[in-house]
Amino acid sequence: MTPPQGNGFTQGMRVLVQPEGFDLVSGKYYIALLASTGETTLKQYVRDSGIGYLKPLNPDFKMIVIDDDVQIIGRVVDIKYPNSFL
């Protein structure tokens, strides 16, 4: 999940998630479940004109409007690099 510009989460990273007791904060990363597909995804939450979106790191993909199909299941609180990255 590394975008062309090189920022992001790469395969093998450990993503630490807070599963409850969090607020949605624009610019932070969240894990979401898309009910219609059963897909779980990691995206950045953004709020624009009162509407919440999940923004992919890769600009080739579209933003997802947060609606009844989207369940936010956790907030990313930290990432850990595998020893092989160090």
Q: d(Cα 29, Cα 75) in Å, to the nearest integer?
A: 6
CA-based nearest residue to 45, from 21, 64, 22: 64
pLDDT in tens, 51-68: 999 999 888 999 999 999
pTM of the model: 0.82
**Average pLDDT value over all residues in the chain:** 88
Q: Which fold has domain 23-79?
A: Umud Fragment, subunit A (2.10.109)
pLDDT in tens, 70-84: 999 999 999 888 776
Handedness of CA 47, 4, 77, 14 (dihedral sign): positive
Burial-class residue 63 by CB neighbours within 10 Å (0-12, 13-18, 19+).
middle
Q: What is the pLDDT of residue 84?
A: 60
